Chains A and B, each alone.
Chain A
């Protein structure tokens, strides 16, 4: 039945070249954009759904920089702050660190396993943390131990003697010591001439930035037992369940009351002030989420407009051919035949459209790869796009085609 209809459909289409071409072109272009946009959405969502390796609820970050203290004077001030914060009602524990997951920017260095290696084995994030940070964050230690309080050294960022101990992520451990346990082995960090010993391995901890430039090193993190005295550290506060808001409300005032010669900024990244981890995450992924929303909106509106265009043109064709439809009906064609005719017509146009669209979609994808460091469009997205547009075409044709099928055979006798 379908096969029988193809020939007359093709013959009729030849009389509507322009309309056919326009619908086909619209379907082709829509396919090209929609499947690339879907792929962008999927990439962004994958990016967004990476885990940090920490317990993100009930976690507060408070950035603070000293305005007049420097060098050795900073250490007691930080210890006093930690004590003050720990005494706040609702606070479970507090650590201090320069760098934490998704903070926005921070410190990266190359690491090697030999002191004279020319090229680093990997580039890693460096978080300068005290002995509370690991537990406050809720990162899971899968081998070895945490730092002890007496191992934490205060120093400024220009005098970074290699630390005696390091805790690193599993991903980094497997990268630098493949097929063997990294525990107890040496690691040279940031061109240091002295080795540090890997004393602990964390299951996972995400690096300091969600930006795509750092994707390759996102899982490589080193914790160093240090307190940087010349950088703006952040207090990481683990609150009791449900107490996050209450602690966040008083954190700023409490710190200023303890010592007012400080700046608690209200920006992002290095200038981050009082931020719950939910806010940290939201700011880190703002662009990814924005892109996903924009692309989804464009896809949705595009599909609606293409569908509406098909409805419009098909309706026009139906109204143009009322008389012919009447003649066919008078000659014995069933309603079903008429419906089938228009659906077949649309299917053929859509098919030609999606075939052209596949070429365009791949072309667009290659162009994006060449200019934007993205990956090539995977086949499933193309197939989803093709199925989506073929279905859309049929659905959009249905209403006008049903109207056509209701044309009465009497029309044959009327003037056009």
Chain B
């Protein structure tokens, strides 16, 4: 019966080509607009580390005071002084500080042209905390942090660029004129958005090239390549004066396994801030935050407003397309009132009418979905011209999106067909036969 109704559906589509084309186009455009914008939204609003996002926290401390903080909120990163104090206290099971760094390297030895490389200065805990996967070797130890060791972890792509596809662990690499021993090569790893560095505005950048010890980077005076935000008197005479200042540029992260640990850590932050107040460093009451990954991304508003607005407008567009479809299906079905009357009079049950018309609607939905799929694919090609490349790069047509496109088109059309079908099924056979 299904096959028969499906065939009837196809035949009915051909009977009214203009009306059918109209419906298929509306569904196709509606679903394509929604899918394109949804794919971008899905990419930028996802949880970058779902399995651990509730255990990873970034502590914030107000070192600026009520006059200069962010409308009551503490700054989004820590000053060097506070960051180092939190590391020394070691109140969490794992913890790291980090900041963005930019160095020069010579990919083909000393006679080649230098190129820039981007990375992060981190502590050894960074790798297990954020579950960085390794291709060769591993991260470094706490002893390496304390010993300010000249070690480095490369990304797979950067390793490929510098050494070809080989295990480079144990070899040396020169960054900014200083030698580092390679201890690990990470597999491709680029959580999006880049939650751990969301203080900087490169949440959707390409994967970083390398990671060096925070302590070592400071020793060789690699400055932050990310944001550096200062308040008050910033009349520094030396680099040390800047390090001691209230300028914030260090992102701290701690791993806390349970809610009890998190509340203990928050109490520790408050105690620390109170100590600073007593010592006269902070002239105000403790103002601290402890946000986990999801709360932090939310607070930093990493999802660009364009993505949200486009998605909303596209969904509104889809709703209108569906309202349109309801109207057109109504017209299409009710035109066949006579035919329905005859079938009903000949003994077709009402449920048969439901089946027939819903399957017919499904056929329309399928056609709309196929068109939508083609338009979505087309839209993906053009999306790089519309959004910033970092964002556009994230949108792609994968199997799940293709399935979703077809499914959404069919389900939405069948839903839209419910009312027209109900009307069709309730056609009075006697009335139709009489008027004929």
A-to-B contact residues, CB < 8 Å? 18-19, 22-23, 25-26, 29-30, 32-33, 36-37, 40, 65, 67-68, 105, 109, 118-119, 157-162, 190-194, 230, 256, 260-263, 265, 270-271, 286-287, 289-291, 293-295, 298, 301-302, 305-306, 308-309, 312-313, 315-316, 319-320, 364, 368, 371-373, 415-416
Contacts and interface: CB of A to CB of B under 8 A. Distances in A.
A290 B385 contact: yes
A271 B25 contact: no
Contact of B235 (A19, A22, A161, A302): A161
A104 to B, nearest CB: 10
Contacts of A260: 113-114
A29 B306 contact: no
A293 B33 CA distance: 13
Given A32-B316, A416-B436, 14 more contacts: A19-B330, A22-B330, A26-B324, A29-B319, A29-B320, A33-B316, A109-B234, A158-B223, A161-B237, A192-B235, A193-B235, A256-B113, A290-B388, A364-B316
Interface of B: 19, 22, 25-26, 29-30, 33, 67, 104, 113-116, 176-177, 201, 223, 225, 230-239, 241-242, 304-306, 308-310, 313-314, 316-317, 319-321, 323-324, 326-328, 330-331, 334-335, 385-388, 419, 423, 435-436
Contacts of B26: 305, 308-309
Nearest to B36: A294
B416 to A, nearest CB: 10
A309 B25 CA distance: 11
B331 A33 contact: no
Contact of A298 (B104, B232, B242, B317): B317
Contacts of B234: 109, 160, 190-192
A270 B116 CA distance: 12
Given A298-B33, A416-B435, A18 B116 contact: no
B306 A291 contact: yes
Nearest to A317: B331
Nearest to A305: B26
B317 A302 contact: yes
Given A263-B116, A295-B313, A305 B25 contact: yes
Contact of B320 (A36, A265, A305): A305
Contacts of A291: 306, 309-310, 386
Contacts of B29: 301, 305
A305 B32 CA distance: 14
A319 B387 CA distance: 46
Contacts of A286: 387-388
B114 A309 contact: no
B313 A309 contact: no
Nearest to B225: A270
B317 A309 contact: no
A26 B223 contact: no
Contact of B22 (A37, A270, A308): A308
